Amino acid sequence: MLLIAKNHVLQTALLRAGLPVVFHSGRSHNAAPMDVADEPILKITNLCKTYSGGSLALKNVSLKIEKGEIVALLGPNGAGKTTLISSICGIVRPTSGHITVAGFDIVSDYRKTRALIGLVPQELTTDSFETVFNTVSFSRGLFGRPPDPAHIEKILISLSLWDRRNSKIITLSGGMKRRVLIAKALSHEPSILFLDEPTAGVDVSLRKDMWKIVSELRESGVTIILTTHYIEEAEEIADRVGVMNHGEIVLMENKQALMRKLGQKQLFLDLLEPLQELPENLTEFSLELAENGMRLTYTFDTRAQQTDITALLDGLKSANIGFRDLQTTQSSLEEIFVNLVKESSSRRIEEGAEQ
């Protein structure tokens, strides 16, 4: 059961009792005004970034993200994920294009947009000789927020950092330092949180704890955008999955719909007797013989209107081929991701050859 408590003291008491609590409910302190409530929390239009050396990092990126979504951006190193996040957060200046956060322009309304955003960067950039509590409190003050020790305590308890609140950053493990970065990003109660490789270098146990924290943040209305190399992370917590390659968003799709649309299925048939070769009436099917002729593998596309499984089974029957067992598997998100990146790279090479 997820409890919602608006009072900081009550929230902290519940957290100390080990009960899950959302970070805040209703509108954020930094929430957008009601007249732009219908705007996407994030809107990117034709964003481009070319660095001084001529390297094209972003190419006509357009994207809309609604409030409360968890969006995972996947892509190989150098795909443009960090440049995209840095452009939204005001760290990198785009060459062209337009970005709004909750209806506010990131250039003309930069103070408002910065206050709406929390960023957890890839690098562990913290004051090594400051205490955990002080460095998180200082981050809150940077956004003009008044001191609120109860809120800082609540965040540290949620991230299992309260017992280390008086420890200097330099004494913490890599996983704990990453948790401090998340605490710093949450200190000013943002409406949108960017997590750039949040679980890099974190063990499996801490990674799952962070997934839980992300889910609880979404319950409170915070929008989460994360970049990751861990495919299982996107499968576990994301609502939508985007794939980036060579500075472009190759695809942005609901996670389940993506797996249904692009996933391939395989049907495995364990035969009663070995086959030396496929009978002529089965050559029209996409079949492979394996395990010394004792297994048939049929690969089919879930997007096709007809999968021809019935025709295949009829063909096996007419050829007097019996089987003792059958099973199916579907492509994982990892396989889909790899295929999309390969297709994108192939198209880029073809376009370059034409030019």
Edge-to-edge strand list for the sheet holding 323-330: 287-290, 295-301, 264-271, 323-330
On the question of pLDDT at 230 being above 50, the answer is yes
Which 3 state secondary structure label does DSSP give 42?
strand
Q: How far apart are CA 259 and CA 114, in angstroms?
A: 35
Task: Decide: 316 and 324 in contact? Cβ < 8 Å.
Answer: no
CA angle 198, 88, 259 (to 5 degrees): 55
Nearest to 23 by CA among 39, 36, 49, 4: 4
**172 CB neighbour count, 10 Å cutoff:** 19
Q: Which of 7-11, 239-243, 347-351 has the highest mean pLDDT?
A: 239-243
Task: Decide: 75 and 243 in contact? Cβ < 8 Å.
Answer: yes
Task: Decide: 101 and 113 in contact? Cβ < 8 Å.
Answer: yes
pLDDT of residue 58: 94
Question: Residue 293: left (phi > 0), alpha (psi -120 to 50), or beta?
Answer: left
| Least confident stretch, 108-117, 288-297, 345-354 | 345-354
Structure-model confidence comparison of residues 269 and 4, the more confident one: 269
Which of 122-133 are b and which e, b meaning 16 or more Cβ less than 10 Å from the residue's Cβ?
Answer: beeebeeebbbb
On the question of pLDDT at 16 being above 70, the answer is no
Tell me the H-state helices in the chain.
8-16, 81-89, 110-116, 132-142, 149-158, 174-186, 204-219, 231-237, 255-262, 309-318, 333-354
- The DSSP bridge pattern shows strands 192-196 and 223-227 to be parallel
**Domains plus CATH for the chain?**
31-259 (3.40.50.300), 264-330 (3.30.70)
Structure-model confidence comparison of residues 196 and 342, the more confident one: 196
Task: Decide: 255 and 71 in contact? Cβ < 8 Å.
Answer: no
pLDDT in tens, 173-223: 888 888 899 899 999 999 999 988 877 766 777 777 778 888 888 888 899
On the question of pLDDT at 302 being above 90, the answer is no
In sequence order, the 6+-apart residues with CB closer than 8 A to the CB of 249 are 61, 62, 63, 242, 243
pLDDT band at 122 (very low <50, low <70, confident <90, very high): confident
Q: How far apart are CA 314 and CA 317, in angstroms?
A: 5
Tell me the whole-structure pTM to 2 decimals: 0.68
Q: How far apart are CA 110 and CA 287, in angstroms?
A: 58
What's the whole-number average pLDDT of the chain? 81
- The DSSP bridge pattern shows strands 96-101 and 42-50 to be antiparallel
Structure-model confidence comparison of residues 61 and 124, the more confident one: 61
Q: How many residues comprise the chain?
A: 355
